[in-house]
Amino acid sequence: MTEPNDDAPTPGPRDRFIPLRKSDILDGLITHFTLDDALARELRQFAHILGAILHQQYFDELDRLRQTYFYFDPEIGRAAHLSADALDAAYRGLSDEFVRVLTEANFVEIKHEEILRAFTEHALVRVKIKAPLTDYRDVRMFRRGHHRETISIPALFGLRRRSLEIEVYDDVVLMVATRPDVAGAEPRRSLLSARGSASKVRGGAVLFKYFRHIPRWDLEALFPNVRVVMGIRQQLTLGVPALVGGVPILLKLASTLTVLFVVAGFYLGLSGTLHDNDTQQALAALSGLFALGAFILRQWGNFHRQSLIHQKQLTDNIYYRNVNNNSGIFNYLIGEAEEQDWKEALLAYCGLVSAPGELTHDALRTRIEDLLLQRFSLSLTFNVDAALAKLRELRLLTETADAVSVIALPDAIAQLERLWGRLLPSSS
């Protein structure tokens, strides 16, 4: 087991995630642009209608996710009425829709190389763990937000502790698809059940898990069927005392086992001679056998005790960080995507409507990033393309060959009201 490389740079570009409350952004924009009471009321009205429209749109998206996930929910029985081709098409639809929602919530996918590196480097989880990747049809991880933490780890076999600075992901979402069962074959063993457990997860199911505050190099521990295995140091810690304690017992037994067989043969009628001290040596051999059995049981118990300690460490550091699973995370992710869309659209609109003229995409990005840094001390990469796409969809954007602008605030409110009216069901 190796430790994470502290000198490694922060992975990838700056985050696009905006970790601010909607009310704080709205109040900050009013203060930053020194809006009077009338303009402040209009901006709040604009923001309220914008939120209502996005909420309705994402409500429909949530329904689509739930409908598609029905075929892959591990808590629901197999969708036997669908053909293999139809299930494959449904899986691709679920995967694409889920990734799109994560992208709109400003999650980014973790590279496969980074996941593989986590198999050898560990931060909080100081044990060796194993996850058989061949059991999965597909594994994808997404993260959002990151920070650095200083943790204390044991050193010199636990005699001392030292500080280590690690990279921590604020939010991590795991998507795991199990391999479909082959027609006519015996169902595959559950990926999630413990050994000997009667619970099963059917083949072809898709599992979603959402975690918070996961060290960058502990990603392997998030896999659903991860198990603790003994590393070389743990094996030596248990094996060397067992060897030192067991060899003398075996040497002592070697000289008496022959006598034990002779005595057993005499009482079974297989041997006709028995010396005076043979019975005493046979009893000594039996005592040695009992001592060896007790020693083996003690070492076996030590092994299982150490395994439980390691499993508890894994549980304490990872699964207490599990927030939600499967269809339960849809509501949260849809809400996050809706909120990020609202923040991006509102910031882009205010950045354009307050500008003295048209702005290029890069100029708008820089304007919003500077605003967030000055007003909220927040350094991030503003997702200007997604923000402009939303304003374009709402028909608030005016575009030329090289620059963009938006319609005035009263006209924008009227346009949003028209869109909201179309979303409402007709009274007739």
Range with the largest mean pLDDT of 45-54, 102-111, 135-144, 312-321: 45-54
The full 3-state SS of the chain, as one line of letters, equals: CECCCCCCCCCCCCCCCCCCCHHHHHHHHHHHCCCCHHHHHHHHHHHHHHHHHHHHHHHHHHHHHHHHHCCCCCCCCCCCCCCHHHHHHHHHHHHHHHHHHHHHCCCEECCHHHHHHCCCECCCCCCEEECCHHHEEEEEEEEEEEEEEEEEEEECCCCEEEEEEEEEEEEEEEEEEECCCCCCCCCCCCCCCCCCCCCCCCCCCEEEEEEEEEEHHHHHHHCCCCEEECCHHHHHHHHHHHHHHHHHHHHHHHCCHHHHHHHHHHHCCCCCCCCCCHHHHHHHHHHHHHHHHHHHHHHHHHHHHHHHHHHHHHHHHCHHHEEEECCHHHHHHHHHHHHHHHHHHHHHHHHHHCCCCCECHHHHHHHHHHHHHHHHCCCCCCCHHHHHHHHHHCCCEEECCCCEEECCHHHHHHHHHHHHHHHCCCCC
User: In this structure, are residues 283 and 264 in contact, taking their beta carbons and an 8 Å threshold?
Assistant: no
Provide the 10 A C-beta neighbour count for residue 34: 8
Q: What is the CA radius of gyration of the chain?
A: 32
CA-nearest of 136, 143, 134, 130 to 220 is 130
Range with the largest mean pLDDT of 150-154, 220-224, 328-332, 347-351: 347-351
Percent of the chain residues topping a pLDDT of 70: 61
Please, which pLDDT band fits residue 334 given cuts at 50, 70 and 90?
A: very high
At position 2, the amino acid (one-letter code) is: T
Residue pLDDT, tens place only, 226-276: 666 655 555 555 565 655 665 666 566 555 555 555 555 555 555 555 555
The answer for residues whose C-beta is within 8 angstroms of residue 77's C-beta and 6 or more apart is 202
Q: What is the pLDDT of residue 325?
A: 87
The answer for residues whose C-beta is within 8 angstroms of residue 158's C-beta and 6 or more apart is none
Q: What is the pLDDT of residue 194?
A: 43
Tokens in use for 266? Answer: 């005499």
Q: Can you say whether the dihedral through the CA atoms of 409, 413, 414, 418 is positive or negative?
A: positive
- Measured CA distances, 220 to 114, 183, 193, 194 (Å): 10, 31, 18, 18
Q: Cα-flanking dihedrals φ and ψ of residue 197, to 5°? A: -75, 150
Q: What is the mean pLDDT of residues 371-379?
A: 92
Q: What is the pLDDT of residue 87?
A: 86
Percent of the chain residues topping a pLDDT of 90: 32
Residue pLDDT, tens place only, 207-231: 999 998 888 877 877 877 666 665 5
Query: What CA–CA distance (Å, rounded) separates 186 from 168?
Result: 41
Tell me, yes or no, if the pTM score tops 0.85.
no
Please, which pLDDT band fits residue 387 given cuts at 50, 70 and 90?
A: very high
User: In this structure, are residues 114 and 217 in contact, taking their beta carbons and an 8 Å threshold?
Assistant: no
Least confident of 61-65, 351-355, 359-363, 404-408: 61-65
Please, which pLDDT band fits residue 172 given cuts at 50, 70 and 90?
A: very high
Answer with the residue of higher pLDDT: 229 or 123: 229
Chain centre to alpha carbon of residue 153 = 23
- In this structure, the chain runs to a length of 428
Q: What is the mean pLDDT of residues 154-168?
A: 70
Please give the torsion angle defined by the CA atoms of residues 208, 214, 218 and 224, in that order, rounded to the nearest 10 degrees: -20
- Measured CA distances, 189 to 7, 60, 206, 422 (Å): 41, 36, 15, 51
Range with the largest mean pLDDT of 66-80, 97-111, 267-281: 97-111
Q: Does 97 score more than 60 pLDDT? A: yes
Q: What is the pLDDT of residue 322?
A: 84
Q: What is the pLDDT of residue 161?
A: 72
CA-nearest of 406, 397, 403, 380 to 13 is 380
Q: What is the pLDDT of residue 198?
A: 40
Q: What is the pLDDT of residue 426?
A: 55
Q: What is the mean pLDDT of residues 77-103?
A: 83
Average pLDDT score, the chain: 77
Q: What is the pLDDT of residue 393?
A: 94
Q: What is the pLDDT of residue 9?
A: 41
Provide the 10 A C-beta neighbour count for residue 209: 21
User: In this structure, are residues 61 and 101 in contact, taking their beta carbons and an 8 Å threshold?
Assistant: yes
Answer with the residue of higher pLDDT: 375 or 4: 375
Q: Does 185 score more than 60 pLDDT? A: no
Q: Does 341 score more than 50 pLDDT? A: yes
Tokens in use for 345? Answer: 């659209």
Tokens in use for 237? Answer: 């810690």
